[in-house]
């Protein structure tokens, strides 16, 4: 399984709810086994610049690549990109026993 984790910060002057709703559009893509968009609680002072986290699980790289190749992914990226300050992502392969 691959865990896809993306951290976003919203540019000053933009509405975090609008960005959250925009990222939720990705949930319409059928290739993820699990998908959610969450607000950072900002309880750790070392990560208070992260506003939103996208977390998804995929059975394999083929499913992840299919997710990113879907037209909804491109449309969402184009919509959200002007409103985000920062974006970091990681795709991690979990051990088979997880």
Tell which CATH architecture fits domain 2-93.
Answer: 2-Layer Sandwich (3.30)
pLDDT of residue 15: 97
> By C-alpha distance, which of 62, 58, 60, 38 is closest to 50?
38
Confidence tier at 95 by pLDDT (50, 70, 90): confident
Q: What is this structure's pTM?
A: 0.91
The fraction of the chain above a pLDDT of 90, given in percent, is: 88
Domain spans of the chain? Answer: 2-93
Residues 13-31: pLDDT tens digits?
999 999 999 999 999 999 9
Are the beta carbons of 52 and 37 closer than 8 angstroms?
yes
CB 4 within 8 A of CB 57: yes
Mean pLDDT of 42-50: 85
């Amino acid at each position: 399984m691959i865990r896809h984790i993306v951290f976003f910060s919203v540019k000053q002057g933009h509405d975090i709810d609008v960005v959250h709703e925009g990222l939720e559009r990705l949930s319409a893509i059928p290739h993820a086994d699990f998908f959610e968009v969450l607000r950072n609680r900002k309880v750790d002072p070392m990560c208070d610049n992260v506003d939103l986290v996208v977390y998804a699980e995929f059975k394999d790289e083929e499913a992840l690549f299919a997710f990113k190749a879907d037209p909804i992914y491109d449309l969402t990226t184009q919509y959200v990109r002007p409103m985000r300050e920062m974006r970091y992502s990681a795709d991690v392969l979990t051990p088979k026993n997880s």
